[in-house]
């Protein structure tokens, strides 16, 4: 059973975390380069938010939304 967990450790330490170790060492030389992954995720989120707001405006312009405050019986 120990060999199984040692194998998992070797997989992560020797293979899967190598790009993150590179980014960690890059931080001392170039902060923006080391945080490129964060910048990519922020860009994806910004695009998704803009798309979402555009869809909300489109639905509001077409009066597709049903905004009834008495949607639940206890609000009557």
- In this predicted structure, what is the pLDDT of residue 10? 95
* pTM for the model: 0.58
Name the nearest CA neighbour of 20 among 8, 42, 36, 40. Answer: 36
Containing 39, the helix (H) or strand (E) segment is: helix 36-61
**What does each of the 76 residues of the chain score in pLDDT, given as a tens digit?**
999 999 999 999 999 999 888 888 888 898 888 888 899 999 999 999 999 999 999 988 888 776 666 666 666 5
Count, residues in the chain? 76
């Amino acid at each position: 059973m120990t060999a199984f967990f040692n194998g998992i450790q070797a997989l992560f330490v020797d293979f899967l975390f190598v790009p993150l170790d590179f980014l960690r060492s890059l931080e001392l030389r170039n902060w923006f380069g080391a945080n490129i992954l964060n910048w990519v995720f922020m860009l994806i989120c910004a695009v998704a938010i803009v798309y979402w707001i555009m869809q909300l405006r489109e639905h509001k312009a077409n009066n597709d939304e049903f905004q009834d405050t008495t949607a639940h019986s206890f609000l009557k």
